Structure formats: structure tokens, C-alpha cells
A and B are shown apart, each in its own frame.
Chain A
């Protein structure tokens, strides 16, 4: 119930291509879904987040697509660049109370120049 399943574990994309990372959850009480980006040797940093009252959120080249009925959400990186090479984590939480996150297991993205 508390798990967030993330796939794929690793992803290689050509420069200019689209990177897609998927996550699925079980707990219908989750109502806040952030994506974090982590570069080697650094802490994760918030990339983009969504609440389930919308089906899509776009910020620049990054888009979250959210399917409430399927309990799935995904991150799309358009026009992927070598600088996007990092590990991406999805997460879910309940946006009240303790604000604890449940993280996915991460996707290591490599964008080839």
C-alpha cells in the first residue's frame, strides 16, 4: 500500500529525444507527487510536482502526466540534453500531516551527445 514502483531502472536516450519515466502507487490517500533530480555526489532537488486534481503539468521541457484512475504518473523530458543525465526519483505523499515522502527506487538517465 505504501510502495511507489518506478521504471525503468536505467534509461539511455539520444540527445534531442524524449525520456519517459513511469511510476505507480497503491495508496489512494496520496495527493502530492513530486519528481526529484539528483546529480552524482549531490542531494536530490525538486524538479516538478503535481496534485491529482490536474492530469498534466508542464514546466519548460519537463512534463508530469497523471492518471488518477490507473494510479500512475510519469515524467516526460522533451528534447533531452546531456545535462539532463542524472538520477530521477518519483515520490508520493499526503500533503498534510507529516508530509512524509515515499520514494520510488530511481531511474538513472544517460543522454548521449
Chain B
């Protein structure tokens, strides 16, 4: 049981290049999330998905696209990378518990450190 895994761990891009970050979870979770973490700004939600085939925008979606073709995978794409997208990206997943429960813990992956030059 690997939990949440992210590929790659590190990446350096030049401005204008594109790339896809892959997130995979083996916990059969319905919900998946992409965050970016920047110094002094905490974790900000980029996009999220409440099930296979569905995606929605979070707080900071501009410049990113996502896809959830399979329940266990959530892909984050940068079509034309910009230096402002230099960040650490975290994927998370959760299984929504019944109302009133505390079972909406989000499980995080180890992160991808992206530098855009």
C-alpha cells in the first residue's frame, strides 16, 4: 500500500515549456486535490476532483489544467510554464466520510519541486 505517489520528484523547466505531473493513489479514494506550496503562503488549492471524470477549479487555477480519467490518477498539466509557477506541488486524496464524521482526512503525496527558469 503505497498511499499517494507523485512523479516526478524534481523538475526544471524553461519558460514556455510544458509538462505533466502525475499523482496516483491506491486507497480507492473518491476525492483528489492538487495544491501548490510557496513560502509564507501555505498550501493553495489549484484544482480538485470529486470523482472519476470530474474536475473543478480551486483558489489558483490559472495556468494549469487537470484530468481524472481513472479513479486512481490525477494529472496536473502546465501548458506554457512561467517563472511564477516555480513551487512545490502536492497531490492529496480523501474518502468523504458520512456527515458528522471526522473521516475527511486528506492524505498527501511527497511533493514535486518544480523550478521554471
> Could you list which residues of chain A lie within 8 angstroms of chain B, going by C-beta atoms?
6, 9, 32, 34, 36, 41-46, 49, 51, 89, 93, 95-96, 98-101, 103-106
Contacts and interface: CB of A to CB of B under 8 A. Distances in A.
B102 A44 contact: no
A99 B111 contact: no
A99 B96 contact: yes
Given A32-B102, A104-B42, 16 more contacts: A9-B40, A34-B105, A42-B111, A44-B108, A46-B105, A51-B102, A95-B100, A95-B101, A98-B31, A98-B48, A98-B56, A100-B45, A101-B43, A103-B43, A103-B44, A106-B42
B93 to A, nearest CB: 11
A42 B110 contact: yes
Given A32-B102, A98-B50, A44 B96 contact: no
A102 to B, nearest CB: 8
11 contacts: A6-B42, A9-B40, A43-B90, A43-B110, A93-B104, A95-B100, A95-B101, A99-B31, A99-B106, A101-B43, A101-B106
B105 A49 contact: yes
Interface hub of A32, A44, A46, A104 (most chain B Cβ within 10 A): A44
Contacts of B35: 103
